[in-house]
Amino acid sequence: MVKIIGSNIALFASYVLLILWNASSADRAFTIAVGMGLCVFIQVVLNGIIGIVLLVMGRKEIGRALLISGAVLMPVGFVSWLVLLSIFG
């Protein structure tokens, strides 16, 4: 379970860094607002869908870990999105 949550947080951190590095300084706030918001939303939805599918298929531990990972990523992603928007926006 810890590996799945850690890998999801690492994936989140990697695309946050990619968004920050690739955004021009003039459009950085807009890129953070739209790009990070969309990426967090997609990752949480995919974790939820895959977690529910795995629970239905009988792989309860991995499915539960993905659902918990999505639940952890929601507040972490939202707070980091707000912090970066307040810094660069």
**What is the distance between the terminal CA atoms of the chain, rounded to a whole angstrom?**
35
Q: Is 24 left (phi over 0), alpha (psi -120 to 50) or beta?
A: beta
Give the model's pLDDT for residue 89: 73
Q: Is the pLDDT of residue 64 over 80?
A: yes
Query: Which pair of tokens denotes residue 68?
Result: 């918990």
- Mean of the pLDDT values across residues 9-13? 92
Neighbours of 50 (CB within 10 A): 16
pTM of the model: 0.85
pLDDT tens digits, one per residue of 72-88: 999 999 999 899 888 88
